[in-house]
Structure 1
């Protein structure tokens, strides 16, 4: 008899439908012993029923707890992509839509900047370059970090007619107020320079984050514009979704993150430049007016 019971148990498969039924019974308020008796009455062996209940309810509890601690979603910049357009009107320029992902929310744009605009940004930025800094999440300030080996500088918002024109174009393209953008940052990557994978939002668990958020709330989106392409290397990489975006001059990659959490799948980095040099301009967008 024992052998027959073991064979019967081995033949019973716990399906997704059964797991959902167990969750439904638990959420309806039925006690575990009641659910167990119901399963046995339906032909499930006791050992299989107990294991199915324990594993299903443990996993369901863990998922419920994770959702409770998940930051609330907020509004994010959103290009007008509902009709799958090939081109978007950015006011003074028609911008190509080259590639779109839904999760993460990611768009590769073509022809966002002209060759002349790219060259002008590089020349204006060149004499003002210094070692790039990262946000110091422990204090809310800035610091040199070994993961970031580029040189960079910031234009203040609206600093020049060129910067004003590009910022207005971005605001129209992404449907987000100009005043909610940080100053345009220009970065230069020489051979060997890189930026290891990271998130652009500010980690709520870090002690310096409340200070950072006073200037405009969380970052909710990033736009990386390519000003010059290296001969080799330098792609923008998204490890979570195994995507590489080539640094083609004049193009850009946009991605948004509706909450400061890894589930946005916006982990990204700048792969090492192998030959030549790479120039990019980055625009970070905040929830509120950036001051």
Structure 2
């Protein structure tokens, strides 16, 4: 399997160097996360600078009153379940840094099937944002196929979007269209960040459609027999793809300090279907 040194990997190395981790520890972490040793070594050699760099962190998203304002769940009373309007959603596990919440029973079996069947005829090789231009491009790190739905395009999509808006306290119109992805054996999405890098020339164009991404919700529509988990290398966490469950995470700034590096581990046996919802600062057009 071919791997390449990505901008996300370089950012991750810079962050960990600035945090005081040794070269050896960073190298071991990369290899443990699935990077080939030769690729990891090349990334270190071309990225690591002595002395270790000091990072300047961009300011977080804030309201006018100075309080951070992000899509999030209210877990202040440690609930076992949360009322999402038309169903009760289970809180399975949560982390504070990075902010990651694993949810159960977010989707019904019928909803999972309906999304898969609606998406199946429209599938095409998944693209990623072209950070140089603001468009889209093929990326060898992402080997799934998928399709986007417009907001409210089908009854199932509209119902799920309303549920997500209530659950995360974020307007429906601030969400990108739901994306359904299909992974067959060997397909994966290598570790990456979902925010738009402010240093890339295409980012201003991307931000015109609704500002920065602030949060991600990945919903599992099927269960591969082996593999296919959602990994968070900085947190040492892997979320199993359980049908109807979901994983939510947010990021208050477009910076590796959010520790939201994540990826879709390769499917080993079976197939994986997921639906992803990205949430923006403003109305997504």
TM-score range, shorter chain: 0.7 to 0.9
> For this pair of structures, how many residues does the alignment match?
227
1:261-291 deviation per Cα after TM superposition (whole angstroms, max 9, x unaligned): 0000000000000011000000000011000
CA contact (8 A) 2:109 2:244 kept: yes
- Distance in 1 of aligned mates of 2:189 and 2:223: 16
Q: Does 1:206 align with 2:227?
A: no
- Distance in 1 of aligned mates of 2:278 and 2:252: 14
- Distance in 2 of aligned mates of 1:266 and 1:93: 28
Q: What SS class does the counterpart of residue 228 from structure 1 fall into?
A: coil
How far is 1:70 from its partner? Answer: 1.6
Which runs of 5 or more residues in structure 1 are unaligned? 1-58
How far is 1:162 from its partner? Answer: 1.0
Q: What SS class does the counterpart of residue 77 from structure 2 fall into?
A: coil
Larger radius of gyration: 1
How far is 1:77 from its partner? Answer: 0.5
CA contact (8 A) 2:218 2:248 kept: yes
Equivalent in the alignment of 2:188: 194
One of 72, 87, 96 as aligned partner of 2:59: 72
**Pairing of 1:23-62 with structure 2 (within 5 A):** none
How far is 1:143 from its partner? Answer: 0.3
CA contact (8 A) 2:224 2:272 kept: yes
One of 239, 243, 255 as aligned partner of 1:249: 243
How far is 1:207 from its partner? Answer: 0.2
- Distance in 2 of aligned mates of 1:105 and 1:233: 23
Give the root-mean-square deviation of aligned CA atoms. Answer: 1.0
Runs of at least 4 residues off by over 3 Å:
none
- Distance in 2 of aligned mates of 1:181 and 1:170: 10
Q: TM-score, normalised by structure 1?
A: 0.77
1:110-153 deviation per Cα after TM superposition (whole angstroms, max 9, x unaligned): 00000010001000000000000000000000000000000000
Q: Does 1:290 align with 2:277?
A: no
Which sits farther off after the overlay, 156-165 or 275-284? 156-165
Q: Does 1:280 align with 2:267?
A: no
Equivalent in the alignment of 2:151: 157
Between structures 1 and 2, the one with greater helix share: 1
1:183-234 deviation per Cα after TM superposition (whole angstroms, max 9, x unaligned): 0000000000000000000000000000000000000000000000101100
Equivalent in the alignment of 2:112: 118
- Distance in 2 of aligned mates of 1:227 and 1:150: 14
**Pairing of 1:210-221 with structure 2 (within 5 A):** 210-221=204-215
How far is 1:71 from its partner? Answer: 1.1
- Distance in 2 of aligned mates of 1:241 and 1:81: 20
One of 75, 85, 104 as aligned partner of 2:98: 104
Which runs of 5 or more residues in structure 2 are unaligned? 1-50, 62-68
- Distance in 1 of aligned mates of 2:144 and 2:115: 16
Q: TM-score, normalised by structure 2?
A: 0.79
- Distance in 1 of aligned mates of 2:197 and 2:121: 33
Q: What SS class does the counterpart of residue 221 from structure 2 fall into?
A: strand
- Distance in 1 of aligned mates of 2:260 and 2:134: 22
